[in-house]
Structure 1
Amino acid sequence: MPIVTEEALEELSPFELSLFLEQKVHENNDERTTLLNAGRGNPNWTAPTPREAYFLLGQFAVQETLYDTEQLTGSMITEQEGREQRFLTFLAGHPGKGAAFLKKIWFSDNNYLGMPKNLWLTQIIDHIIGDNYPHPVRCLTACETPIKAYLNQELFADQAAPFDIFAVEGGTAGICYIFDTLIHNFLLKQGDKIALMLPTFAPYLEIPELPQYAFDVVKLQAKQTILEGKMSYQFPDSEINKLRDTSIKAVFVVNPSNPTANAICPSTIQLLKKIVKEDHPELMILTDDVYGTFVPEFRSLFAELPYNTTCIYSYSKYFGATGWRIGTIAVAKDNLFDDLITQLPEPLKTRLNARYASLASDPSTISFIDRIVADSRDIALNHAAGLSSPQQVMMTLFSLYSLLDEGQAYKQEVMTICHEREKLLFHTLGLEEPLKALDTAYYCEINFEEWTRKRYGAEFSNYLKNSWTVTKILTILAEKEKLMLLKANAFGSDEWSVRISLANLSTNQYAEVGQRIIHLIEDIRDEWLLTQQ
């Protein structure tokens, strides 16, 4: 590895620094100490039951393509007599949690599927085979009802206004698609003023700086506060009140937050609703709710302000499915985005009609969410848009699983894992755990300056701040202690804050994470004390 100066390391993004340090640690491999990478956000759990069901369903689907034939080429899936009985016989011959899950769905009195189950079975095994282009391109009919039911239950508190969804390649694709369509439809233009609620997922800070956007960004900063006697990161009213400025076209938020891992408290949501109602009814809201399923009674901004809000959700974290690249965009059927397009000046509407002319005889009738779909394939390839059918089947099975009792038990287990890890880490570092009701415990943020001040005193903390940088500490932490953490300043956090993932190491390793942090800091302190004698 080439020599890199300290100055060059300071310029690296948190993710690039982490990759550099990981490579450096592996090149200087010391097998006596296990590398603990607590910078990664990839969970180390999976949801086995819906996956087992997925592969069973796929195996049955393959058998159906070979029904009544011994050729190497199978048929496409079509409606056939006796399929239901063959399916139930197949499940009986493959006992296990996956088969039991599929049978629960099949025999349930609830209309989880949104259509007659025989029709659903034919469609879903066709989709898992993947022998047809996805159609409808926005979301497959056999998948739409279960996915909506899951979102409504887990994110929208069963109170969502009627909404449409677009199945996408994870939350990152959703982010890119929405930004592009807002620009293409003149809802945002280069240089417009937008607000970001911080801390946030780092790309939300980086995307607005790209030349094609160059947005004027107003930052709304969450602060540590005491809520119900516990610590939480929340937005002061003074920050939320910045949204009364009607020159701010849109506000973007990750809720619950990354890396501070807190959901927005009810009083802040009520203030935001009041601002929208009284001062800024045309405020566009984009909420990324990927961590919502880690909060016991989560309620999305989409449920509170459906008319103004577009919601992004990814299945990646909760189900341990980062490799699947599956997520969704939700937009209310009655929404601000459609109305703003109809209010555009005639010259702009003429340009939009020309842009989408190949999709409809009257392009003005194309909804905002369908414009997102079309723009995702540069319009000309709209007919071949859409998330792959097998991916949508996986989304559907994850969703159906969560609607059952076992799925709710899975949720409790996942939340318990995260909070137990947080408890071990915080106990080791001598920190009080955050307010559990709003805390995902998926990540935590540690401010080194504040922590060292409380633990070792102001004089040493001041020395650390004046003579060291977080980058230097993380570099030596990786080299000497074999511990990887992530700088949090790129998320809009304090310069001295670091993000620790509570998702990707074994639970019993989180006390060790705290011990390695303490060991390094106390080594630095001991060296400093020698200079004070």
Structure 2
Amino acid sequence: MTPADYEKFRKLSPFELKDQLISLASGKAQRAMLDAGRGNPNFLATTPRHGFFQLGMFATAESELSFSYMAEGVGGLPRQDGIEARFTSFVAANKDQPGVAFLRRALSFVRDQLGLSAEGFLLEMTAGILGCDYPKPPRMLKYAEKVVRQYLIQEMAGSTMPAASTDLFALEGGTAAISYIFASLRENGLIKPGDKAAIGMPVFTPYVEIPELRDYQLQEVAINATPESGWQYPDEELDKLLDPAVKIFLIVNPSNPPSVKINDAGLARIAEIVKKRPDLIIVTDDVYGTFTDNFRSLYSICPYNTILVYSFSKYFGATGWRLGVIATHAQNVLDYALANLPEEDKLALDARYASLTPDVRGLKFIDRLVADSRTVALNHTAGLSTPQQVQMVLFSLFALMDGRNAYKTALKNLLHRRESALYRNLGINAPDDEGSTHYYTLIDMTKLATELYGRRFARWVMTHVDHETILFRIAEETGVVLLPGMGFAVRKPSARASLANLNEYQYASIGAELRKMADEYYERYKAEKKLEAENAPKE
């Protein structure tokens, strides 16, 4: 491809651009394509999956207790009476099967540590994995909500909040959560065209695109983190939130792609701002929080103002499961804002939600979210499928019972080794930002050129190499797929590499290929400088 061919792809989002880069990278059969573009992990949690499939066997046997006289494979709904005793017998008969010991421990934890009814929990999980009934309540199954919020408070708040103060809505991943939140905010008059939406940048690209859509027509205000401060948000950037025209602050924490959590000073600064802006709505996507030590979500700092979005996709290797939750505090700015809408707006909302309850004005925002996710009229069929909720519960219990954080430590070590392999073969030191998840890495092109061959070479690269199209050349010539940092609102020429979806030796190969290309550019630079010197006027 020529530079002119690259031009037509400039406006694509990084995730659409990725397909073009993959096509280029896979163009030569003799070369292996190394796709470090998308963040889908190549690791996953096996123990809770073993548990899921073993639970399915138990549940099917429970179903067959009814209509067992029929030979046509017809079962019935599971029954609570005696279910714990039957489960104990199942565990004893299958104790050597993978996942069964995990299920035994999980039931003990639910009963002995969370204080929940063992029979009630087992019945919900058994019926849930069979998928034999609608989700009830639609927002989230009763025991599922209690278990998952315990996990969230542990991982997102360091167990500093009472779990019972949090309401959850189980849904199809973090992206569905953001879509539903913006739609309900608009439908309920909490954001309107022309309002300002602050966005913590750099950020996952769709979060820049959504507020600009015709559906919302919001004015975007960039809250820029800086690499000079370890990708933290300077006070002068956060102070933009003091503008009363800013209605909502959308942030990914830890960030994507810098992969760095907000430090204690940044959290404290935002808390100070919220005291002056008690009407500010914060939406925080904390999908990468479990990859850092001592993570604290904004939800734990400013619970009244914050909607927490969490997805199980990355930490448990479950992007295909589509598992996520929205969390709001029992007392929150959203419900307060609804109560203080103009009477004209309240009357319109009374009509919108009239089919749900005679007391529309007492309907919480999170329950409006559920209804809006099914266009209100189909609220009775809302809710995440019950087998999905069961897997979510088993993931949560797996983490809650891991007192030594063995799984978390293993993943963190895995990502560290991959990052080290990439930069070791590239020939420069890996970034050492405090609070990094190491899930992604941003390769700063200027910094790379400077560290390899000095500032003069770096200046030459910035003026002689089109950094906006170099990723096409990298893909075409080396088979390495990276995403452009500018597509994530990174203001410096850079490339994002996921450290989650390839093996260690492949990251070493990526580093070596990038170094080889850098060396080629350096040879061109030296040749050009030599020619300039030879053609310089003689004194």
How far off is 1:420 after superposition? 1.7
Calculate percent identity across the aligned residue pairs.
41
> Which residue, out of 392, 398, 422, partners 1:395?
392
Check whether the contact 1:147–1:396 (CA below 8 A) recurs between aligned residues.
Answer: yes
Check whether the contact 1:196–1:217 (CA below 8 A) recurs between aligned residues.
Answer: yes
Cα deviation 1:154-196 (Å, max 9, x = unaligned): 1111123511000010000000000001111111001211111
Q: Distance in 2 between matches of 1:315 and 1:357?
A: 34
Q: Distance in 1 between matches of 2:61 and 2:408?
A: 33
Change (3 A) 1:69 1:4: farther
Moved more, 68-77 or 177-186: 68-77
Does the residue aligned with 2:9 lie in a helix, a strand or coil?
Answer: helix
1:120 aligns with 2:117: no
Give the root-mean-square deviation of aligned CA atoms. Answer: 2.0
Moved more, 82-91 or 254-263: 82-91
**What TM-score do you get using the length of structure 1 for normalisation?**
0.94
Does the residue aligned with 1:449 lie in a helix, a strand or coil?
Answer: helix
Q: Distance in 2 between matches of 1:430 and 1:282?
A: 49
Check whether the contact 1:21–1:478 (CA below 8 A) recurs between aligned residues.
Answer: yes
How far off is 1:97 after superposition? 4.2
Count of aligned pairs between the two proteins? 525
Q: Please name the residue that 1:64 is paired with.
A: 62
- Where does 1:132-151 land on structure 2 (aligned, <5 Å)? 132-151=133-152
Q: Distance in 1 between matches of 2:140 and 2:490?
A: 37
Check whether the contact 2:59–2:78 (CA below 8 A) recurs between aligned residues.
Answer: no
1:359 aligns with 2:356: yes
How far off is 1:325 after superposition? 0.3
- Where does 1:358-437 land on structure 2 (aligned, <5 Å)? 358-405=355-402, 408-435=405-432, 437=434
How far off is 1:415 after superposition? 1.1
Change (3 A) 1:81 1:365: closer
1:77 aligns with 2:74: no
How far off is 1:439 after superposition? 0.7
Change (3 A) 1:392 1:114: farther
Change (3 A) 1:233 1:22: same
Check whether the contact 1:168–1:387 (CA below 8 A) recurs between aligned residues.
Answer: yes
Cα deviation 1:6-30 (Å, max 9, x = unaligned): 211223222222101212333x232
Check whether the contact 1:114–1:145 (CA below 8 A) recurs between aligned residues.
Answer: no
Does the residue aligned with 1:494 lie in a helix, a strand or coil?
Answer: coil
Change (3 A) 1:2 1:96: farther
Check whether the contact 2:157–2:299 (CA below 8 A) recurs between aligned residues.
Answer: yes
Check whether the contact 2:80–2:120 (CA below 8 A) recurs between aligned residues.
Answer: no
- Where does 1:485-524 land on structure 2 (aligned, <5 Å)? 485-524=482-521
Q: Please name the residue that 1:310 is paired with.
A: 307
Change (3 A) 1:407 1:183: farther
Check whether the contact 1:470–1:495 (CA below 8 A) recurs between aligned residues.
Answer: no
Change (3 A) 1:213 1:107: closer
Does the residue aligned with 2:361 lie in a helix, a strand or coil?
Answer: helix
- Tell me which amino acid in the other structure corresponds to 2:14: P
How far off is 1:530 after superposition? 2.1
**What TM-score do you get using the length of structure 2 for normalisation?**
0.93
How far off is 1:35 after superposition? 1.4
Check whether the contact 1:195–1:218 (CA below 8 A) recurs between aligned residues.
Answer: yes
Does the residue aligned with 1:259 lie in a helix, a strand or coil?
Answer: coil
Check whether the contact 1:9–1:471 (CA below 8 A) recurs between aligned residues.
Answer: no
1:225 aligns with 2:222: no
Moved more, 203-212 or 519-528: 519-528
Check whether the contact 2:171–2:324 (CA below 8 A) recurs between aligned residues.
Answer: yes
- Tell me which amino acid in the other structure corresponds to 1:141: K
- Tell me which amino acid in the other structure corresponds to 2:29: D
Change (3 A) 1:435 1:449: closer
Change (3 A) 1:112 1:385: farther
Moved more, 57-66 or 427-436: 427-436
Q: Please name the residue that 2:259 is paired with.
A: 261
- Tell me which amino acid in the other structure corresponds to 1:7: E
Q: Distance in 1 between matches of 2:242 and 2:143?
A: 42
How far off is 1:491 after superposition? 1.2
Q: Please name the residue that 2:240 is paired with.
A: 242
Check whether the contact 1:114–1:142 (CA below 8 A) recurs between aligned residues.
Answer: no
Q: Please name the residue that 2:32 is paired with.
A: 34
Cα deviation 1:443-498 (Å, max 9, x = unaligned): 01111122212322233322322232234211111111111111121211125111
How far off is 1:430 after superposition? 4.1
Q: Please name the residue that 1:210 is paired with.
A: 213
Change (3 A) 1:147 1:222: same
How far off is 1:112 after superposition? 5.2
Structure 2, unmatched stretches of 5+, are 531-539
1:463 aligns with 2:469: no
1:152 aligns with 2:150: no
> Which residue, out of 165, 175, 187, partners 2:190?
187
- Where does 1:273-292 land on structure 2 (aligned, <5 Å)? 273-277=271-275, 279-292=276-289
Q: Please name the residue that 1:198 is paired with.
A: 201
Check whether the contact 1:160–1:302 (CA below 8 A) recurs between aligned residues.
Answer: no
Does the residue aligned with 1:220 lie in a helix, a strand or coil?
Answer: strand
Structure 1, unmatched stretches of 5+, are 227-231
Moved more, 325-334 or 513-522: 513-522
Q: Distance in 2 between matches of 1:142 and 1:113?
A: 10
Cα deviation 1:490-525 (Å, max 9, x = unaligned): 211125111110101112322221111111121122
How far off is 1:119 after superposition? 1.9
Q: Distance in 1 between matches of 2:478 and 2:172?
A: 37
Q: Please name the residue that 1:175 is paired with.
A: 178
Q: Distance in 1 between matches of 2:115 and 2:251?
A: 32
Q: Please name the residue that 1:441 is paired with.
A: 438
Q: Distance in 2 between matches of 1:504 and 1:49?
A: 20
- Tell me which amino acid in the other structure corresponds to 2:254: P
Moved more, 477-486 or 418-427: 418-427
Check whether the contact 1:114–1:146 (CA below 8 A) recurs between aligned residues.
Answer: no
Does the residue aligned with 1:370 lie in a helix, a strand or coil?
Answer: helix
Cα deviation 1:348-401 (Å, max 9, x = unaligned): 111111111111101101001001111111100000000000000000000011
Change (3 A) 1:521 1:435: closer
Q: Please name the residue that 1:229 is paired with.
A: none
- Tell me which amino acid in the other structure corresponds to 1:21: L
